[in-house]
């Protein structure tokens, strides 16, 4: 049984329809990514799941609870990190953690969180004097301080340097090992690809696709890009033969570079070169990524429907 189930969610702000029809199911212990263009409805979706907004239509169940009617119990099992939330400028890191600990029946150890989020040496520093990245890390720490069974994290690594981002990713991995279910709103496809068991692509108020990152990447007509510098000049006849190889959609030859695009073309092209005794130098092969999938699934947003 899924721990989060969202069915036919619909939500408008005044005239503006933000969620047209969103359905999702998250299994316990999964890390699910929510990606999509700005304004597609990602934040609204997770805020409805967290009980911060009430949908106009549709049904949400979080561990058997309806977030819109039973928030008190929900708050104990769901930890949320939201965008555009601040703390009072003069509260210190430790004070904030201790304050938030006092709200929960079985909170995490503050010291452990300070260490994990690289805030130990800033524990006496006030929120207003922390850097953007430190504030962000504290915000994530506060979302986890209550020992939640479900963590909803909205753009948790935005504004973090690569090292801090990797540290937080590692911690999320450990949380998952502890059985915590994580819903992650993100703009970084790399983050979604590395962390998430499944990714929901939300576009224009609908779930455009919901699958594992690999399945998404290959399903969307994933073009492979291949480029190399041949060790010997390729004859025009051979160029034509290569264009006719299975899967090759296009092939161009410039001064010293050959570039090909198509479906699963690396093997036939490289075998063809081997037969001719040509070595592909400075070879680059790009497989379809979640980025490609994302772009092909969310084109409507780029067409200016926003």
Minimal distance in Å, beta carbon 201 to another protein? 25
The full DSSP string for 160-228 is --HHHHHHHHHHHHHHHHTT-EEEEE-S-HHHHHHH-SEEEEEETTEEEEEE-HHHHHHHTT--EEEEE
Residues in Cβ contact with 226 at an 8 Å cutoff, skipping those fewer than 6 apart: 259, 260, 261, 265, 266, 269, 283, 284, 285, 286
Sole window of 6-14, 135-143, 166-174, 264-272 interacting with another protein (rule: CB under 8 A): 135-143
Angle in degrees, 0-180, between the axes of helices 93-101 and 132-144, rounded to the nearest 10: 20
The residues with which 12 forms a beta bridge, in sequence order, are 17
Helix (H) or strand (E) holding 43: helix 42-49
Take residue 54 and report the two structure tokens written for it: 């009430």
Minimal distance in Å, beta carbon 165 to another protein? 22
Which DSSP category does 280 fall into? E
Minimal distance in Å, beta carbon 175 to another protein? 17
The answer to whether residues 18 and 27 touch, using CB atoms and an 8 Å cutoff, is no
- 267 to 286, contacts with another protein by CB under 8 A? none
Helix (H) or strand (E) holding 59: strand 57-62
Between 151 and 207, name the residue whose CB sits nearer to another protein. Answer: 151
- 65 to 104, contacts with another protein by CB under 8 A? 72, 75-76, 78-80, 82, 84-88, 90-91, 95, 98-100, 102-104
Minimal distance in Å, beta carbon 151 to another protein? 11
Between 71 and 247, name the residue whose CB sits nearer to another protein. Answer: 71
Helix (H, G, I), strand (E, B) or coil at 230: strand
The reply on whether position 143 binds another protein by CB under 8 A is yes
Sole window of 4-12, 57-65, 139-147, 289-297 interacting with another protein (rule: CB under 8 A): 139-147
Between 17 and 77, name the residue whose CB sits nearer to another protein. Answer: 77
The reply on whether position 109 binds another protein by CB under 8 A is no
Minimal distance in Å, beta carbon 97 to another protein? 11
Closest by CA to 31, choosing from 181, 157, 137, is 181
Helix (H) or strand (E) holding 33: strand 31-35
Minimal distance in Å, beta carbon 286 to another protein? 40
Residue tagged 């092939």 (tokens): 251
Between 144 and 189, name the residue whose CB sits nearer to another protein. Answer: 144
Between 87 and 242, name the residue whose CB sits nearer to another protein. Answer: 87
The reply on whether position 13 binds another protein by CB under 8 A is no
CA distance 195 to 168: 11
Minimal distance in Å, beta carbon 33 to another protein? 20
Take residue 155 and report the two structure tokens written for it: 């753009």
Size of the residue set binding another protein (CB under 8 A):
28
Interface positions with another protein (CB under 8 A): 50, 52, 72, 75-76, 78-80, 82, 84-88, 90-91, 95, 98-100, 102-105, 139, 142-143, 146
């Amino acid at each position: 049984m899924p721990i989060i189930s969202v069915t036919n969610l619909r939500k408008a702000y005044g005239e503006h329809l933000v969620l047209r029809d969103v359905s999702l199911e998250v299994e316990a212990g999964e890390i699910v990514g929510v990606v999509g263009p700005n304004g597609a409805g990602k934040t609204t979706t997770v805020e409805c799941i967290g009980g911060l907004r009430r949908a106009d239509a549709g049904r949400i169940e979080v561990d058997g609870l309806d977030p819109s009617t039973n928030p008190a119990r929900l708050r104990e099992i769901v930890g949320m990190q939201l965008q555009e939330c601040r703390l009072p400028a003069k509260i210190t890191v430790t004070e904030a953690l201790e304050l938030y600990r006092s709200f929960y029946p079985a909170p995490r150890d503050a010291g452990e969180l300070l260490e994990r989020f690289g805030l130990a040496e800033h524990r006496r520093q006030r929120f207003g004097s922390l850097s953007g990245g430190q504030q962000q890390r504290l915000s994530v720490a506060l979302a986890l301080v209550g020992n939640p069974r479900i963590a909803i994290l909205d753009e948790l690594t935005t504004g973090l340097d690569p090292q801090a981002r990797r540290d937080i990713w590692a911690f999320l991995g450990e949380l998952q090992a502890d059985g915590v279910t994580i819903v992650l709103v993100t703009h970084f496809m790399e983050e979604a690809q590395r962390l998430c068991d499944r990714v929901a692509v939300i576009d224009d108020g609908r779930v455009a696709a919901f699958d594992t990152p690999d399945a998404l990447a290959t399903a969307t007509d994933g073009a492979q890009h291949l480029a190399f510098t041949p060790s010997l000049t390729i004859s025009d006849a051979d160029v034509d033969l290569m264009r006719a190889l299975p899967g090759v959609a296009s092939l161009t030859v410039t001064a010293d570079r050959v570039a090909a695009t198509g479906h699963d073309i690396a093997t036939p092209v490289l075998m063809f070169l081997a037969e001719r005794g040509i070595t592909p130098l400075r070879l680059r092969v790009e497989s379809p990524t979640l980025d490609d999938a994302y772009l092909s699934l969310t084109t409507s947003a780029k067409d200016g429907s926003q």
